[in-house]
Copies of this chain bind each other. A is one copy, B any other.
Amino acid sequence: MEQRLSLVTLGVADLERAVGFYASLGWAPGNDWRAQGVAFFQAGGMAVALWGRDELAADSTVEDPGGWGGVTLAHNVRSPAEVDAVLAEAETAGATIGRPGAETFWGGYSGLFIDPDGHPWEVAHNPRWEIAEDGSITI
């Protein structure tokens, strides 16, 4: 199995609302999501999808107890100021701020927002991880 990830699908309660939230952050689906009932966003060399959580659970052959399930996403940026700017943008779009931007124990700066479906996103500046112009990171 090659060391890579092609797609992360987030289960959502209301696809219209979920697409609207990410659209407010400036994201644009790359497919005809209304017709297909699933939204795909090109994200560098991979994709992020939004799909009904019930359908995703069935397709994933898992029971869904509700709530968080041990997966957190992160979006790395180039400066602490950019962390604060993205968190403010997310809050305006309807996210809950879990942690405001602050210095971290690992020597960076981060905060965290939770999207309308409960999916947490850390927004981080890690001075040791290089971010290329296209947004890709090298650990």
Seen from chain A, the residues whose Cβ lies within 8 Å of a Cβ on chain B are: 1-12, 25-28, 30-31, 40-48, 53, 56-57, 59-76, 86, 89-90, 98-99, 112, 114, 117-120, 122-124, 129, 131-132, 134-139
| A6 vs B74: C-alpha distance when bound (angstroms) | 6
In the complex, what residue of chain B is closest to A51 when comparing beta carbons? B72
Q: Is the CB of B8 within 8 A of A5?
A: yes
| A44 vs B5: C-alpha distance when bound (angstroms) | 8
How far is the CB of A57 from the nearest CB of chain B, in Å?
A: 7
Quickly give the copy total for this chain.
2
| A47 vs B53: C-alpha distance when bound (angstroms) | 24
Chain B residues within an 8 Å CB radius of A57: 68, 70
How far is the CB of A72 from the nearest CB of chain B, in Å?
A: 5
Chain B residues within an 8 Å CB radius of A43: 3-5
Q: Is the CB of A42 within 8 A of B3?
A: yes
Q: Is the CB of A72 within 8 A of B46?
A: no
With beta carbons under 8 angstroms apart, the residue of B2, B30, B112 that contacts A139 is: B30
